[in-house]
């Protein structure tokens, strides 16, 4: 309808509909008209004559505020006022109208004077792109565009859900960045198609329009996060990686700057130009990244294809925005939807391929690792078998040497024992006999302990239980120091007590000395001699109680205290201590720590 309009620019905003209806001579032809200032108020005037009754729609695309005044050329008729516009709150719209169209009913044979007041606050040159259609054709066209929009949104939503499920199941980070990219472009597309504004900001549409650019920034942030991560830019070129982080910060700064421009100036044109200039930075950076093409694998190149498509669309839109101006926004909905589906599919194909390749490589590496582990196990088994044979051979040799050593020790002890017995049989000196008996008892104790430690009698070869050799020592002492009155020896030994070889030898010699002292010195006037030996064990220590019912201990002359000195020294070697009490005989109380 543009050629049919006359126009007047109302710089001071002083005109009213009644004034202009009454003075049509104020209008001039719109042909060749150029606005003085984009933010001024403009009035359009035309006449419409209908030859038949018709339901028609008067529509436009970009204006922020449009007031329609229509008056039939009939006597006494009053004008009808209707309001629309991108920034018009929903409660100010007439039922059946929208922000971008008026529904009119024209009567047959009536001429209507049409006056439209226009205020465009985006600071773009206002576009007087009014179009008059019959309602059926307008509705059909609108539904077709809505179907296209919904198809893009439905496809984007399916992609978004699939990517989200993929991220939740795999926790593969590029899926998260792709989710941000798709979400940002979907919201941007919904805002451009006015759906998001109608749903969420019906009473404050200007606030919804201001948010539109921030959805695009959100999607761009996801794009660059995906690029930096999926292309592994940090590993390939640290300088490009750092510059990419600066681009991300620049997107945040650009979003803040866009908000401030909108909030304080409402100048959408400057905001669009600032964002357009930022594209130069993006193009330079993305082209530099694409020069890494040879380092990209097959999957990463799918992402590169998507980046190339994005650059082509963004470059076209930016150039068109500077050359054509606001009308190019009519294409944004289709372009953003197409970009959303095409680029997302390319990105998703690359990420899926990369994940599948990772799984394939992982399976291959696991197979190789298992083969390597099996080979190592075989080598280890062979090494262990060889080492075991060597150790068995060495152990047999050591066992042979130990048997030989024990045999020689046993023979030597037996030789000493036999020599002392022979000397004892031929000696007439009482003191010599006493000394020889003491030595015989001590040698016998050592023989008994050594015999218990012999590998043939002791599987452990390192530890010994005192039960058996103390019994043997007691029996040998009875034979060695035979008396007319037999000595009643009572033994109570905890069989859970285990001693190492040195401790067993020390204990055997202590018991031998105690028994020898009792037999030699305790029972001169005792018709019923008794000896009691108790060895008890606890968690932290073990004890030995020795008692006889003899005459007790009396001072010994010098040279006769060797046995007591030996007992004290052996007790010290076992890290123990002892006490002596005289109560109806002699009592020894020994206390030793557990050394095993």
Residue 432 lies in a domain: no
Question: Looking at residue 557, what DSSP letter applies?
Answer: P
Q: Could you give the C-alpha distances from 181 to 163, 178, 279, in angstroms and in order?
A: 11, 5, 17
For the record, the structure tokens of 10 come out as 């109302």
Question: What pLDDT is attached to residue 404?
Answer: 64
Residue 361 lies in a domain: no
Give the pairing of strands 499-500 and 463-464: antiparallel
If one counts every other C-beta atom within 10 angstroms of the C-beta of residue 480, the result is 18
pLDDT of residue 410: 65
212 has a pLDDT exceeding 50: yes
For residues 324 and 312, what is the distance between their CA atoms, to the nearest angstrom? 18
Judge if 15 and 123 occupy the same domain: yes
Examine the domain organization and report whether 72 and 198 are in the same domain. no
pLDDT score, position 253: 95
Give, as one character, the DSSP assignment of residue 25: G
Q: What is the CATH number of the domain that holds 20?
A: 2.60.40.2380
Q: Which of 251, 255, 230, 253 is nearest to 241 (CA)?
A: 230
Are 64 and 34 in a shared domain?
yes
486 and 349 co-located in one domain: no
Q: What is the pLDDT of residue 417?
A: 67
More confident residue, 266 or 68: 68
Query: Which range (81-95, 244-258, 561-575) has the least confidence?
Result: 561-575
In tens, the pLDDT along 225-237 reads 999 999 999 999 9
- Residue 420 lies inside a defined structural domain of this protein: no
Angle 486-489-495 from CA coordinates, rounded to 5°: 155
What is the band of 534 on the pLDDT scale with cuts at 50, 70, 90?
Answer: very high
Reported confidence tier of residue 459, pLDDT bands at 50, 70, 90: very low
pLDDT digits (tens, 9 = 90+) for 391-428: 888 877 766 766 666 666 666 667 676 766 666 666 66
Q: DSSP for 93-149?
A: SPTT-BTTEEEEEEPTT-EEEEEEEEE-TTSSPP----EEEEHHHHHHHHHHHHHHH
> Which of the four pLDDT bands, split at 50, 70 and 90, describes residue 203?
very high
Alpha-carbon distance of 222 to 233, in angstroms, equals 15
Q: Are residues 202 and 350 in the same domain?
A: yes
Count of beta carbons in the 10 Å neighbourhood of residue 77 = 13
Q: Of the candidates 313, 334, 354, which is a domain's last residue?
A: 354
> 3-state secondary structure string, 543-587?
EEEEEECCCCCCCCCCCCCHHHHHHHHHHHHCCCEEEEEECCCEE
- What is the rounded CA–CA span in Å between residue 251 and residue 219? 10
Q: How far apart are CA 26 and CA 168, in angstroms?
A: 67
**Where are the alpha helices (H) located in 454-500, listed in sequence order?**
466-480
Please give the pLDDT value at position 424.
65
End-of-domain residue from the set 296, 329, 354: 354
Task: Give the CATH number of the domain where residue 574 resides.
Answer: 3.30.565.10
pLDDT in tens, 63-117: 999 999 999 988 777 788 999 999 999 999 998 899 999 999 999 989 999 999 9
Among candidate residues 234, 248, 326, the one with its CA nearest the CA of residue 281: 248
Between the CA of residue 338 and those of 62, 186, 335, 341, 342, what are the distances in Å? 22, 11, 5, 5, 6
pLDDT (tens digit per residue) in 36-60? 888 899 999 999 998 899 999 999 9
The reported pLDDT for the residue numbered 350 is 85
How large is the average pLDDT for residues 338-362?
83
Q: Which two tokens stand for residue 558?
A: 């010098």
Mean pLDDT score of the chain, rounded to an integer? 85
Beta strands in 128-208 (DSSP E): 131-134
My answer on whether 164 and 222 are in the same domain is yes
Cα dihedral 214, 218, 220, 221 sign: positive
pLDDT digits (tens, 9 = 90+) for 123-135: 888 888 899 999 9
Distance between first and last Cα of the chain? 110
174 shares a domain with 97: no
What is the rounded distance in angstroms from the CA atom of residue 93 to the CA atom of residue 205? 13
- pTM passes above 0.75: no
pLDDT of residue 563: 77
106 within domain boundaries: yes
φ, ψ (nearest 5 deg) of residue 48: -125, 130
User: Residue 556: is its pLDDT beyond 60?
Assistant: no
Domain that holds residue 124: 2-137
Inside any domain, residue 206: yes
d(CA 522, CA 514): 11
The answer to whether residue 411 sits within a structural domain is no
Residue 205 sits in the same domain as residue 254: yes
62-66, 230-234, 251-255, 275-279: which range is least confident on average?
Answer: 275-279
SS (H, E, C) 378-426: HHHHHHHHHHHHHHHHHHHHHHHHHHHHHHHHHHHHHHHHHHHHHHHHH
Half-sphere exposure of 456 (CA within 13 A, CB side): 7
Residue that wins the pLDDT comparison between 152 and 116: 116
- CA 19 centroid distance within chain: 73
Q: Tell the residue number behind the tokens 């009490």, with chain if given.
A: 581
550 DSSP β-pair partners = none
State whether 232 and 105 are in the same domain: no
Q: Which of 102, 137, 172 is the last residue of a domain?
A: 137
Q: Are residues 349 and 492 in the same domain?
A: no
Q: Which of 2, 144, 140, 137 is nearest to 60 (CA)?
A: 2
398 domain-assigned? no
In a domain, 176, yes or no: yes
Query: How many folded domains does the chain comprise?
Result: 3
Residue written as token pair 């971008």:
100
Lookup result for tokens 């472009």: 185
Question: Of 216, 217, 173, 227, nearest to 346 (Cα)?
Answer: 227
Name the token pair of 359: 């799984």
State the average pLDDT over residues 531-539: 90
Q: How many CB atoms lie within 10 A of CB 592?
A: 22
Distance, in Å, from the CA atom of 198 to the CA atom of 190, rounded to the nearest integer, reads 10
Instruction: Indicate if 162 and 81 belong to the same structural domain.
Output: no
Kindly give the residue spans of alpha helices, DSSP state H, lying in 427-522.
Answer: 430-453, 466-480, 501-521
Measured at the alpha carbon of residue 104, what is the angle toward residues 103 and 107, in degrees to the nearest 5? 160
Q: Are residues 129 and 245 located together in one domain of the fold?
A: no
Q: How many CB atoms lie within 10 A of CB 277?
A: 12
Residue 225 φ then ψ, to 5°: -65, -40
């Amino acid at each position: 309808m543009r050629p049919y309009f006359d126009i007047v620019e109302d710089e001071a905003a002083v005109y009213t509909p009644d004034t202009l209806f009454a003075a049509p001579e104020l209008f001039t032809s719109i042909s060749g008209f150029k606005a003085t200032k984009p933010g001024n108020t403009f009035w359009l005037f035309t006449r419409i004559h209908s030859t038949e009754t018709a339901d028609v729609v008067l529509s436009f695309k970009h204006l922020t505020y449009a007031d329609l005044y229509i008056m039939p050329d009939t006597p006494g008729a009053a004008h009808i006022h209707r309001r629309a516009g991108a920034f018009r709150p929903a409660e100010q719209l007439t039922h059946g109208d929208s922000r971008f169209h008026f529904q009119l009913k024209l009567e047959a044979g009536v001429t209507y004077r049409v006056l439209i007041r226009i205020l465009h606050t985006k600071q773009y040159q206002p576009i007087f792109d009014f179009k008059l259609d019959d309602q059926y054709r307008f509705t059909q066209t609108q539904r077709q565009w809505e179907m296209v929009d919904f198809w893009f949104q439905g496809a984007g939503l399916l992609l978004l859900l699939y990517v989200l499920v993929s991220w939740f199941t795999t926790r593969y980070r590029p899926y998260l960045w792709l989710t941000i990219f798709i979400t940002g472009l979907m919201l941007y597309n919904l805002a451009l198609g006015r759906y998001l504004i109608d749903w969420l900001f019906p009473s404050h549409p200007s606030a919804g329009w201001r948010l539109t650019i921030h959805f695009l920034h959100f999607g761009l942030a996801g794009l660059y996060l995906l690029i930096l991560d999926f292309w592994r830019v940090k590993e390939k070129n640290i300088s490009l990686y750092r510059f990419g982080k600066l681009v991300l910060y620049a997107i945040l700064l650009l979003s803040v700057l866009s908000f401030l421009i909108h909030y304080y100036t409402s100048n959408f044109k400057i905001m669009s130009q600032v964002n357009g200039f930022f594209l130069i930075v993006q193009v330079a950076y993305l082209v530099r990244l694409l020069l890494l093409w040879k380092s990209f694998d097959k999957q990463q190149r799918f992402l590169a294809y998507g980046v190339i498509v994005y650059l082509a669309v963004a470059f076209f839109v930016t150039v068109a925005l500077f050359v054509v101006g606001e009308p190019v926004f009519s294409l944004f909905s289709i372009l953003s939807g197409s970009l959303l589906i095409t680029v997302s599919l390319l990105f998703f194909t690359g990420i899926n391929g990369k994940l599948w390749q990772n799984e394939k490589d992982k399976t291959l590496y696991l197979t190789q690792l298992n083969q390597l582990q099996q080979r190592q196990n075989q080598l280890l088994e062979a090494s262990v078998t060889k080492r075991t044979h060597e150790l068995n051979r060495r152990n047999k040799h050591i066992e042979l040497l130990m048997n030989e050593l024990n045999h020689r020790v046993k023979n030597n002890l037996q030789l000493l024992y036999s020599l002392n017995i022979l000397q004892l049989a031929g000696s007439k000196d009482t003191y010599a006999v006493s000394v020889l008996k003491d030595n015989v008892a001590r040698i016998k104790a050592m023989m008994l302990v050594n015999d218990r430690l012999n590998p043939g009698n002791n599987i452990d070869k390192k530890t010994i239980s005192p039960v058996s050799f103390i019994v043997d020592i007691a029996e040998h002492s009875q034979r060695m120091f035979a008396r007319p009155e037999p000595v009643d020896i009572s033994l109570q030994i905890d069989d859970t007590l285990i001693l190492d070889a040195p401790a067993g030898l020390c204990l055997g010699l202590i018991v031998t000395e105690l028994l020898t002292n009792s037999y030699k010195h305790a029972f001169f006037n005792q018709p019923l001699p008794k000896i009691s030996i108790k060895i008890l064990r606890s968690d932290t220590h073990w004890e030995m109680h020795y008692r006889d019912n003899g005459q007790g201990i009396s001072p010994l002359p010098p040279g006769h205290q060797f046995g007591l000195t030996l007992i004290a020294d052996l007790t010290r070697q076992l890290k123990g201590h002892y006490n002596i009490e005289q109560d109806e005989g002699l009592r020894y109380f020994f206390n030793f720590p557990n050394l095993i």
